[in-house]
Every structure is written in C-alpha cells, then in structure tokens.
C-alpha cells in the first residue's frame, strides 16, 4: 500500500509575540517561536480506497483539514485517504501541538503525492487549515513570523542561539484552545514597546547575545500578562533570578513558562538543578529541563 510520511517539531512557546510593522507600514501580528526538537509530531498518509479523508486520533480535526487542503491543492483527482498522527506534544499548553500535526500532515500528503513546494506555501496551507500557526517549519532559523497570515515579516541574519530551559506548566489543569482564544488587543504604548523590542531582538540574534535575548523574552512575557496571565509568574521569575537564569519566556496562548539559561556557562547544569528543586519545593509539578544537543541528540529529562 502506498504511503507518505512527514514529521514536524513543536516548540516551547515564544521568545516574543506581538504586533510589528511590515512592508508599507502595515501592522501584523507576529512571533518568534522557541523550537524544541524533542517535541515531535509524525504523520502517515495512505490510500484506503475511500473518497474522504479519515484521521486517527479522531480529535486531530485540524490535521484532517490540512490533508484535505493539501489534496485539493496538489492531488488533482485524489480526494481521500487515511491519516494517522502520533505525537508527544502536550495539547493546549502552547507548545505547537496542532501546528506540528498540521505541518507533518501537509508534508506526509506531499510525500504521498510525490510533489514539492516552498516553505511559504506549506505555511499558507497550515494557516488555512487552522487559522493561525507557529513557525515550527523554520526550525532553528530565526524568523519573525506572521502567524495569522502565513508569511515571514523579517528573517534574521543568524540562527537562534542555543538556550537551555526549565519548563514549568503554570496552569496544569487548564488547557487553552487557540482557536477560541481571543487575540490580544495591544495599546499604542505596547505597540511602540514591540518596535523597540524587535530592534533589541535583532541585535540579540545577530550578536548571539543570550542575556539580551532573555531581556526581550521577559519583556514580551510581561506584556502578555495583561491578556493571558500565568499563575505565579513572579515566583517563577524570582527563583530563576536567584539561580542565574537569563530570562523567562512564555507560551503567549498557552500555559507553559520557561526559565532560560546560557548553555555556555559552566555552572548552568548546577543552576538548573537548584532552580528546579526550588520550583518543585514551591509546589510546581516536577519541571522538565530541555538542554542542548550532545553528540547530535537533544537532552530532555525530568529534574528532581
């Protein structure tokens, strides 16, 4: 039986999310996702002789829509098949689970059809399938991405620098439905802040300045508190500051919070362990540490 496969990574929220100026001075909602290669969604698409698309698990309705749109775009007379999704990305936490499912699906259907297209076209189909999507297909490439329009507002000169991270779920009992979540309505003052933060972000990425990147992420997280407050963000940030974190970043439409650390610092492993113990002692669930690749594999572990 003919089969196509695709895979996409998730992320750990955003380094920044807001409103930014594009060509012609028009304002666009945009973000820079923080990719996490340990989080993956895998899709397989096969011909089952049916005229419609079926999907398992059945809850993956956005992925089903992506398969239908991809078939309509490239499949000519082919309109049906079976889509199977497997993922280790938590749903409703702001870690790109639906976008990863959707992008993996698009790639799987394209593989099945033996067609190729541009990244921009893939992301446009993804936006059409789920209204808004993250920049996960760009992986480690640093781009400011218009998540509701499917295009790159700005591509930065360098890739995102490596960041070590402690992940904390600030509201474990409350998942967020990104489709029903109302987009933030930023004030003029906040839009001006994003203009300044964009310039600082560009400087941080171009110079691989992690301390400055941490400041940008923290500022964006703070702005987001007016729209989707994170439980005990002050407490999480205080623990991070006590143990040498360079900043805090959040899922702007989810529940996770990340304490950022510099992987080049010799004391980072010790600091992560101490901060994780303090977080658990403060009542948070056992945090997860995401650290940088060692011999080609990214480490991910429960810190206790």
The series of mean pLDDT values per 10 residues for the chain, 304 residues long, is 91 95 93 91 92 94 96 84 96 91 96 92 92 75 90 92 92 56 88 98 96 98 94 94 97 94 95 95 87 47 33
**pTM given for the model:** 0.88
- The DSSP bridge partners found for residue 88 are none
pLDDT at 295: 32
pLDDT at 61: 95
Beta strands in the chain (DSSP E): 3-21, 27-46, 53-56, 81-87, 143-146, 151-155, 164-169, 247-250, 256-261, 288-294, 297-302
**C-alpha–C-alpha distance, residues 162 and 208, integer Å:** 9
Q: Which residue, 205, 302, 208, 217, is CA-closest to 258?
A: 217
pLDDT at 297: 40
**Do residues 61 and 130 make contact, with C-beta atoms less than 8 angstroms apart?**
no
CA angle 42, 147, 171 (to 5 degrees): 70
pLDDT at 24: 87
pLDDT at 193: 97
Start-to-end CA distance of the chain, whole Å, equals 46
pLDDT at 189: 96
pLDDT at 298: 45
Domains of the chain: 3-154 (3.30.230.10), 159-302 (3.30.70.890)
pLDDT at 302: 32
């Amino acid at each position: 039986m003919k089969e196509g496969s695709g895979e996409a990574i998730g992320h750990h929220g955003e380094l920044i999310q807001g409103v930014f100026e594009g060509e012609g001075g028009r304002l666009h909602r945009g973000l820079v996702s923080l990719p996490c290669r340990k989080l993956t969604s895998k899709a397989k698409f096969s011909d089952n002789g049916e005229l419609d698309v079926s999907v398992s698990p059945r809850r993956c309705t956005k992925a089903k829509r992506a398969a239908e749109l991809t078939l309509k775009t490239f499949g000519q007379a082919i309109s049906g098949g079976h889509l199977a999704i497997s993922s280790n990305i938590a749903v409703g936490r702001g870690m790109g689970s639906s976008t990863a499912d959707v992008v993996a699906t698009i790639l799987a259907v394209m593989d099945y059809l033996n067609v190729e297209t541009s990244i921009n076209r893939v992301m446009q189909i993804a936006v059409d399938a789920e209204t808004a999507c993250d920049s996960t297909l760009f992986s480690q490439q640093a781009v400011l991405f218009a998540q509701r329009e499917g295009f790159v507002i700005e591509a930065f000169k360098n890739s995102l620098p490596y960041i070590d991270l402690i992940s904390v779920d600030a509201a474990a009992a409350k998942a967020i439905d990104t489709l029903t979540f109302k987009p933030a309505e930023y004030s003029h003052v906040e839009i001006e802040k994003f203009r300044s933060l964009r310039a600082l972000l560009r400087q941080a990425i171009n110079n691989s300045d992690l301390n400055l990147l941490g400041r940008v992420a923290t500022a964006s997280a703070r702005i987001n508190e007016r729209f989707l407050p994170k439980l005990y963000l002050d407490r999480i940030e205080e623990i991070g500051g006590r143990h040498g974190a360079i900043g805090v970043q959040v899922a702007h439409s989810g529940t996770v919070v990340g304490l950022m650390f510099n992987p080049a610092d010799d004391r980072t492993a010790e600091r992560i362990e101490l901060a994780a113990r303090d977080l658990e002692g403060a009542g948070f669930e056992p945090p997860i540490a995401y650290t940088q690749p060692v011999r080609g594999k990214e480490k991910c572990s429960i810190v206790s």
